[in-house]
């Protein structure tokens, strides 16, 4: 167990057996750059996630559905039923979280460019059991340079706001020059539609590790926090797979100057806006993950303490999740 475990892991994944099958196909098609072989895509359960949390002494976990895979162009070409597949995977993850109510919360996910996107939000808004919405723009092959796609994303943010769903978004796209320009479009043309709802930018604006793309995007957010603090008050950044070398990705440790730049930006934005997360999949070990992440980040002791105690606002309401799952012992919700 960690000597000072994080209060929560804000970025974990479980997969259904069906998702494991689809992910295997997805990874084969995209190659190892998008699915590093050391990151497991094994089917797993809420119990596995709770076991991993217990071993590290972490109280709560945020499990993110990977249903968005169904909408990726690679899987789309396989002829699978996108809407039905997404729904089944979201049902699986929500069901697993609810059976460990109080320890796990579930974020459902979708592809913002698929025709079923708004229906999926409406469904979960009615049904309950989901805490929020996860989007993965790289998987969706979303492009901030397309005004039509940006309008679609804005509509998703507006729908999430109406459903009172916080949003976790993997912002990095497949654009080779992804960075500040994309983050600025997001800040100006998408984020305002969800005003009042917490938005968590996954991997500190990148895709895991620290790259020039991560630093460029995060730099745009740091500027926005300075120039328009009210508009960015609900923005959070998770550190899943950051800085990266410890996390089974096979990456080398980030160069010291990149690490220093990351820490400078974190301080400019405010450490209280950063959340610990791991991108955990079964059977990774959270104790070694956080031990190495802490050593690599090498923040001041009081900064790490703050980071470890930070939790997203959507966890503050205890076990109440959109009116469901009110029994902290894990009993029935509606």
User: In the complex with Zn ion, which residue's Cβ is closer, 159 or 168?
Assistant: 168
Report, in Å, the least distance between residue 240 CB and Zn ion. 6
Report, in Å, the least distance between residue 203 CB and Zn ion. 8
User: In the complex with Zn ion, which residue's Cβ is closer, 119 or 285?
Assistant: 285
Report, in Å, the least distance between residue 300 CB and Zn ion. 27
Report, in Å, the least distance between residue 181 CB and Zn ion. 24
User: In the complex with Zn ion, which residue's Cβ is closer, 111 or 279?
Assistant: 279
Assess whether the previous peptide bond of 243 is cis (omega < 30° from 0): yes
What H or E segment, with its residue span, contains residue 11? strand 8-13
Report, in Å, the least distance between residue 253 CB and Zn ion. 21
User: In the complex with Zn ion, which residue's Cβ is closer, 206 or 254?
Assistant: 206
Query: Which residues sit at the interface with Zn ion, rule CB under 5 A?
Result: 279
Q: Which residue is nearest to Zn ion (CB)?
A: 279
User: In the complex with Zn ion, which residue's Cβ is closer, 158 or 204?
Assistant: 204
Q: How many CB atoms lie within 10 A of CB 21?
A: 13
Distance in angstroms (rounded) separating the CA atoms of residues 88 and 46 = 16
Report, in Å, the least distance between residue 122 CB and Zn ion. 25
What the block records as the tokens of 289 is 């993950």
Alpha helix (H) residue ranges in 145-280: 147-162, 180-189, 212-227, 256-269
User: In the complex with Zn ion, which residue's Cβ is closer, 283 or 323?
Assistant: 283
Query: Phi-psi category of 164—alpha, beta or left, where left has phi over 0 and alpha has psi -120 to 50?
Result: left
């Amino acid at each position: 167990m960690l000597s000072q475990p994080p209060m929560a892991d804000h970025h974990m994944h479980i997969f259904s057996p069906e998702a494991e099958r689809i992910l295997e196909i997805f990874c084969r098609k995209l190659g190892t750059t998008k699915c590093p072989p050391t990151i497991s895509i094994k089917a797993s359960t809420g119990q596995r996630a709770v076991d991993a949390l217990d071993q590290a002494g972490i109280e709560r976990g945020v499990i993110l559905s990977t249903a968005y895979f169904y909408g990726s162009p690679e899987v789309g070409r396989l002829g699978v039923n996108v809407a039905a597949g997404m729904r089944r995977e979201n049902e699986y993850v929500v069901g697993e979280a609810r059976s460990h109510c109080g320890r796990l919360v579930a974020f459902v996910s979708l592809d913002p460019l698929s025709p079923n996107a708004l229906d999926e939000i409406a469904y979960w808004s009615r049904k309950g059991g989901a805490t929020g919405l996860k989007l993965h723009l790289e998987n969706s092959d979303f492009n901030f340079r397309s005004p039509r796609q940006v309008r679609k994303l804005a509509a998703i943010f507006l729908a999430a706001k109406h459903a009172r769903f916080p949003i976790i978004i993997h912002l990095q796209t497949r654009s080779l020059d992804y960075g500040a320009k994309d983050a600025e479009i997001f800040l100006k043309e998408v984020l305002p539609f969800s005003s009042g709802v917490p938005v968590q930018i996954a991997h500190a604006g990148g895709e895991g590790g620290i790259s020039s793309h991560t630093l460029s995007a995060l730099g745009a957010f740091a500027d926005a926090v300075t120039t328009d603090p009210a508009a960015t008050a609900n923005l959070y950044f998770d550190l899943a797979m950051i800085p990266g070398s410890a996390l089974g990705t096979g990456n080398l440790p980030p160069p010291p100057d990149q690490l220093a730049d990351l820490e400078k930006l974190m301080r400019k934005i405010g450490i209280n806006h950063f959340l610990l997360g791991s991108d955990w999949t079964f059977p990774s070990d959270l104790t070694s993950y956080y031990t190495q992440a802490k050593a690599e980040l090498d923040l001041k002791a009081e900064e790490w303490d703050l980071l470890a105690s930070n939790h997203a606002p959507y966890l503050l309401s205890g076990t109440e999740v959109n009116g469901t799952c009110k029994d902290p012992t894990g009993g029935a919700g509606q």
